[in-house]
């Protein structure tokens, strides 16, 4: 990628657009990074959860005396020890519903693994032993595990308000009328499964009480702003709880809801001693929220020459036992359900039903990626019905700038669907050939549109502080959490670019709710967009102050002041940094700034009419393509090559962008072919990484990332977000390639296992 | 408790080790060697990989006392030229994102290159089968290792 410079002062920065080695990577390679579970101090206690064994039961007793009596046990905490035992949230942000969940269940459990008690002991082994001694008496109650059955009239009620968690509507035009007159109408159903984030770092953290009474929790979280909810739980002023997130060992949405934080806070609050908690992989797979399984019913109408006329879409998701972020996830699915295509008429109903399964919540792709599984498969199926090339069908219907989405909002920025498709087509080269006779091969494509940033009615904001030291080095403080995508490092790179200094000159301090300005969490592909824009503003504002001081010191026009490693220079003279600092003090100019970026905000969604002036700030578009080879005897699908292209507006660090795309593809391939957390009546059947199969290096093909830059995005330096967009098209691209290889026979549920492939071939 | 002695990163470690303590737990919780990561506790993810007498091994599958008389190396050990070259290539390629799998991955890569592994991508992929990464899709890791294999041993 060429290193074009768009913003930036007249200096030496200029790493934007270059393959630039991130500072944190060197520390990680050397094993120097201390993650949330990497702590062990004198007198540290260890906490363990006692979790429900039943999917639905009345709790008649939680007997803790035997556990308390075990030597080395510091505390056994139950619901009565939680000052405010309710976590409440309005996840859709529209005031449409406040959802609540106990921190520790006391009278009723609603899923297997729901926390009931926290045991705190002198060692992990003792904590395990004590947890075994907590005796819970259950009266099992009828349970329901299917969202369709949960919404039936005779289903056992899961929450007082009924089993419908959320229902979103999107409406455009008169769907009934168009469907009745359309020359071609097809209907299909698709299904997706429970999937786990399976980051390598488990849920972990520690907590302690400071001398001034502040409770500090240092934990693997994507959202340090949870400190307010923790304070609420403890009935403390918000200012008395501090949440620190060191580098996180993978998040993908799984550390967006709280995991260990409330239990650590409680344990430190009651014992007044440092406490550590680390979840086992089995706990993580059984009891931490999953990606929503969704069922899609699509009816699509088109003209004979392949113009889309109407879509009628029903989505039903399994919310599990508690809402968490389900309303938001379903909203994203509803908004993009018709895909990156023009449609005259659309009707989308997206619902989620409560069940007694583990809750579903955020996971990279956040509903919009499940929708791609449906909208990109049905495009291939429609093309087959029409006798048309599937890429030609897509090209005929591509969304363009100025078009209206199904929600009624207009697309304002570049839509590089043809460009990404062309790039992928060219890179894939000649059609695949079987490696030996009898094997089946096929090529598949999928397009996508994925939002970045929060919906506009959240009034999103992010703040960044910057300051200059006497020696010419810079501090950048931001509450950003870094989950591995370089969310912290990129802010330093951006600030250096704007200031015109080398990236090494900027040190980024991040992820501390008490000491770094809040940026909002790392989710919704919002961090580059939000904190990146705040970093640009902070760096510009600081540069302007430095230039003003330098101009009075050296003479000349402030705008022509050049910032160098040793100091500043104008046409008339130069000054060293300590002189600049002294002059600033004399002039009463603080060489430190705090700048807040406010995202575009707007009114809430009109769910009655199913329209909005705007939902998300913008979308990232792309195209993926792959070749597969299938052994019809075993049904085994092997991916031969994979190419992925996205318009990222501007690649600030192409190496990181490539990494995001390649990693998204790998996760998407697991989603497509091997990953499913299996539950039987709420009990996890594959609760180890030996049974839950995420892709290993040998399972994957070479993955090529083709980065395109339209120069149009709402992020800093015109960048678009890429974290989530990279995963969305993968499963449908693989599914379309498999269907091609099978001569049109299609596995319409994920994952596409060998068994399903053989069954599908057999049915044919 | 069993009295156990082994060499860790060039120094002798001697102590009473709980009979149930895994090498991973002992290294982390008793010795503070947190560069050894704990990922799954069942020998699948490879985050806790150490070199035991030069061979990469999941330290969560070994009891600490089984290391008796062995040489144990983590990424914190003084790096030789090859390890240095691999570390630099990992940085250059941004072969780490969250970094949690990275110490284990680097040690496996080191043993692979040192053992005369080939630079072709399928061989590298097979060699990394015991080290899971959820962030990178492995592509940059493979690129980095292939680059080192094709230039190692450095001339001179």
| A466 shares a domain with A451 | no
Question: Tens digit of pLDDT for each residue in B25-82?
Answer: 999 999 999 999 999 999 999 999 999 999 999 999 999 999 999 999 999 999 999 9
| A623 shares a domain with A725 | yes
Query: Does residue A356 fall inside a structural domain?
Result: yes
CATH topology of domain B2-73: Ubiquitin-like (UB roll) (3.10.20)
Would you call B134 and A200 a contact, using CB atoms and an 8 Å cutoff? yes
Whether the CB-CB separation of A575 and A550 falls below 8 Å is answered with yes
**Angstrom distance (rounded) from CA B48 to CA B28:** 10
What's the mean pLDDT in A118-122? Answer: 98
| A549 shares a domain with A630 | no
**Residue A5: per-residue pLDDT:** 35
Residues B29-57, buried b or exposed e (16+ Cβ, 10 A)? bbeebbbbbbbbbbbbbbbbbbbbeeebb
- A236: helix, strand or coil: coil
Query: Does residue A187 fall inside a structural domain?
Result: no
Nearest C-alpha in B relative to A20 = B92
Would you call A31 and B102 a contact, using CB atoms and an 8 Å cutoff? yes
Percent of chain A scored above 90 by pLDDT? 94
**Residue A107: per-residue pLDDT:** 97
Residue after which a domain boundary falls, among A572, A598, A624: A598
Query: Does residue A721 fall inside a structural domain?
Result: yes
**Residue A699: per-residue pLDDT:** 97
Query: Does residue A743 fall inside a structural domain?
Result: yes
Q: What is the CATH number of domain B81-151?
A: 1.10.150.120
Question: Tens digit of pLDDT for each residue in A554-568?
Answer: 998 999 999 998 999
| A558 shares a domain with A656 | no
Residue after which a domain boundary falls, among A598, A617, A632: A598
**Residue A589: per-residue pLDDT:** 97
Distances (CA, A) of B72 to A8, A434, A658, B67: 49, 46, 35, 8
Would you call A25 and B91 a contact, using CB atoms and an 8 Å cutoff? yes
Query: Does residue A198 fall inside a structural domain?
Result: no
Would you call B133 and A34 a contact, using CB atoms and an 8 Å cutoff? no
What value does the mean pLDDT of chain A take?
95
Given pLDDT bands bounded at 50, 70 and 90, which one contains residue A369?
very high
Query: Does residue A124 fall inside a structural domain?
Result: yes
Taking CB atoms and an 8 Å cutoff, what residues of chain B touch A481? Answer: none
Of A21, A27, A31, A285, which to mutate for an interface test with B (greatest number of B Cβ within 10 Å)?
A31
Element (H, E) at A168: strand A164-172
CATH 1.10.150.120 domain locations along chain B? 81-151
Taking CB atoms and an 8 Å cutoff, what residues of chain B touch A248? Answer: 98
- A667: helix, strand or coil: helix
Chain centre distance of CA A57: 32
Percent of chain A scored above 70 by pLDDT? 98
| A415 shares a domain with A540 | no
Given pLDDT bands bounded at 50, 70 and 90, which one contains residue A6?
very low
Given pLDDT bands bounded at 50, 70 and 90, which one contains residue A163?
very high
**Residue A14: per-residue pLDDT:** 65
Distances (CA, A) of A478 to A222, A238, A241, A700: 14, 19, 18, 36
CATH 3.10.20.30 domain locations along chain B? 2-73
pLDDT at residue A445 above 90? yes
**Residue B154: per-residue pLDDT:** 60
A-proximal residues of B, 74-133, CB under 8 Å: 74-76, 87, 90-103, 106, 121-122, 124-126, 128-133
Give yes or no for B145 touching A (CB within 8 A).
no
Question: Tens digit of pLDDT for each residue in A499-520?
Answer: 999 999 999 999 999 999 999 9
Query: Does residue A682 fall inside a structural domain?
Result: yes
pLDDT at residue A38 above 60? yes
**Residue A18: per-residue pLDDT:** 78
Q: Among all chains, which residue has been given the structure tokens 């003090």? A: A585
Give yes or no for B1 touching A (CB within 8 A).
no
Which of B32, B93, B94 lies at the smallest CB-CB distance from A40? B32
ipTM of this complex > 0.85? yes
Which of A34, A281, A667 lies at the smallest CB-CB distance from B41? A281
Nearest-CA distance A284 → chain B (Å):
10
Would you call A697 and B128 a contact, using CB atoms and an 8 Å cutoff? yes
Domain with A435 in it: 294-455+605-763
Query: Does residue A244 fall inside a structural domain?
Result: yes
| A582 shares a domain with A681 | no
| A658 shares a domain with A756 | yes
Distances (CA, A) of A236 to A211, A233, A265: 16, 8, 11
What CATH number has the domain bearing residue A221?
3.90.1170.50
Taking CB atoms and an 8 Å cutoff, what residues of chain B touch A200? Answer: 37, 39, 45, 47, 98, 100-101, 132-134
**Angstrom distance (rounded) from CA A742 to CA A761:** 7
| A350 shares a domain with A307 | yes
| Number of domains chain A is built from | 3
| A265 shares a domain with A212 | yes
Would you call B133 and A662 a contact, using CB atoms and an 8 Å cutoff? no
Which stretches within A404-464 are classed as H helix?
417-428
What CATH number has the domain bearing residue A449?
3.30.365.10
Nearest-CA distance A704 → chain B (Å):
9
Nearest-CA distance A185 → chain B (Å):
39
């Amino acid at each position: 990628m060429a290193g074009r410079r768009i913003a930036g002062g007249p200096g030496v920065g200029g790493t934007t657009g270059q393959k630039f080695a991130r500072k944190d990577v060197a520390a990680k390679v050397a094993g120097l990074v201390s993650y949330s579970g990497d702590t062990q101090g004198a007198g540290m206690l260890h906490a363990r959860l006692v979790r429900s064994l039943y999917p639905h039961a009345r709790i008649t007793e939680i007997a803790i005396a035997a556990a308390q009596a075990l030597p080395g046990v510091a505390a056994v905490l139950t619901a009565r020890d939680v000052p405010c035992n309710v976590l409440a949230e309005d996840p859709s942000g529209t005031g449409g519903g406040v959802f609540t969940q106990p921190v520790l269940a006391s009278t009723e459990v609603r899923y297997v693994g729901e926390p009931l008690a926290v045991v705190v002991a002198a060692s992990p082994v003792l904590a395990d032993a004590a947890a075994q001694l907590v005796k819970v008496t259950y009266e099992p109650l009828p349970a329901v595990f299917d969202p369709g059955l949960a919404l039936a009239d005779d289903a056992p009620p899961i929450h007082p308000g009924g089993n419908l968690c959320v229902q979103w509507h999107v409406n455009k035009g008169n769907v009934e009328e168009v469907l009745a007159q359309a020359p071609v109408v097809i209907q299909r159903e698709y299904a997706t499964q429970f999937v786990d984030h399976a980051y390598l770092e488990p849920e972990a953290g520690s907590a302690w009480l400071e001398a001034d009474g502040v409770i500090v929790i240092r934990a693997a979280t994507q959202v340090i702003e949870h400190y307010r909810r923790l304070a609420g739980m403890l009935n403390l002023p918000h200012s008395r709880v501090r949440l620190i997130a060191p580098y996180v060992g993978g998040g993908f949405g799984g550390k967006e809801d709280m995991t260990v934080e409330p239990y650590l806070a409680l344990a430190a609050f009651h014992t007044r001693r440092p406490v550590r908690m680390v979840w086992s992989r089995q706990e993580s797979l059984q009891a931490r929220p999953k990606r929503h399984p969704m069922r899609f019913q699509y009816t699509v109408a088109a003209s004979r020459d392949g113009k889309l006329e109407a879509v009628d879409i029903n989505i039903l998701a399994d919310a599990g036992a508690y809402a968490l972020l389900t309303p938001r996830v379903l909203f994203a699915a509803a908004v993009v359900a018709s895909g990156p295509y023009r449609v005259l008429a659309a009707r989308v109903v997206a619902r989620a039903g409560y069940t007694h399964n583990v809750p579903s919540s955020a996971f990279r792709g956040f509903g919009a990626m499940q929708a791609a599984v449906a909208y990109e498969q049905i495009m291939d199926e429609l093309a087959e019905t029409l006798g048309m090339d599937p890429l030609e069908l897509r090209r005929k219907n591509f969304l363009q700038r100025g078009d209206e989405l199904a929600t009624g909002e207009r697309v304002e920025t570049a839509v590089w669907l043809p460009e990404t498709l062309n790039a992928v087509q060219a890179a894939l080269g000649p059609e695949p050939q079987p490696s030996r006779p009898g094997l089946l091969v096929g090529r598949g494509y999928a397009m996508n549109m994925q939002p970045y940033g929060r919906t506009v009615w959240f009034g999103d904001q992010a703040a960044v502080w910057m300051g200059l030291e006497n020696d010419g080095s810079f501090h950048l403080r931001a509450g950003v959490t870094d989950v591995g995508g370089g969310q912290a490092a990129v802010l330093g790179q951006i600030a250096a670019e704007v200031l015109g200094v080398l990236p090494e000159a900027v040190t980024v301090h991040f992820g501390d709710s008490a000491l770094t300005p809040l940026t909002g969490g790392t989710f919704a592909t919002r961090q580059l967009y939000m904190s990146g824009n705040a970093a640009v503003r902070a760096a510009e504002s600081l540069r302007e102050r430095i230039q003003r001081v330098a101009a009075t010191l050296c003479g000349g026009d402030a705008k022509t002041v050049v910032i160098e490693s040793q100091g500043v220079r104008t046409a008339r003279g130069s000054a060293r940094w300590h002189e600049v600092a002294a002059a600033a003090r004399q002039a009463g100019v603080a060489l430190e700034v705090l700048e807040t970026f406010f995202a575009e905000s707007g009114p809430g969604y009109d769910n009655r009419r199913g329209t909005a002036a705007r939902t998300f700030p913008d979308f990232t578009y792309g195209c993926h393509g792959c070749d597969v080879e299938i052994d019809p005897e075993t049904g085994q699908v092997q991916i031969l090559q994979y190419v992925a292209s996205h318009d990222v507006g501007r690649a600030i660090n192409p190496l990181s962008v490539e990494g995001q795309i390649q990693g998204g593809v790998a996760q998407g391939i697991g989603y497509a072919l091997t990953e499913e957390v299996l539950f039987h009546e709420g009990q996890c059947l594959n609760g180890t990484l030996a049974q839950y199969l995420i892709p290993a290096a040998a399972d994957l093909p070479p993955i090529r990332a083709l980065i395109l830059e339209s120069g149009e995005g709402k992020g800093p330096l015109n960048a678009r977000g890429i974290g989530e967009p990279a995963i969305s098209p993968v499963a449908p691209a693989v599914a379309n390639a498999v269907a091609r290889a099978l001569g049109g026979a299609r596995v319409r549920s994920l994952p596409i296992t060998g068994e399903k492939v053989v069954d599908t071939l057999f049915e044919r | 408790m069993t009295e156990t002695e082994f060499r860790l990163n060039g120094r002798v470690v001697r102590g009473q080790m709980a009979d149930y303590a895994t090498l991973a737990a002992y290294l982390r919780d008793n010795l503070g060697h947190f560069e050894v990561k704990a990922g799954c506790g069942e020998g699948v993810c490879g985050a806790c990989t150490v070199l035991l007498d030069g061979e990469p091994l999941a330290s969560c599958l070994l009891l600490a006392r089984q290391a008796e008389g062995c040489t144990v190396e983590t990424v914190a050990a003084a790096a030789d030229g090859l390890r240095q070259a691999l570390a630099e290539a990992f940085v250059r390629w941004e072969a780490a994102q969250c970094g949690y799998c990275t110490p284990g991955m680097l040690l496996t890569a080191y043993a692979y290159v040192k053992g005369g592994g080939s630079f072709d991508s399928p061989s590298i992929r097979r060699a990394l089968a015991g080290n899971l990464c959820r962030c990178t899709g492995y592509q940059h890791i493979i690129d980095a290792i292939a680059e080192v294999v094709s230039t190692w041993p450095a001339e001179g």
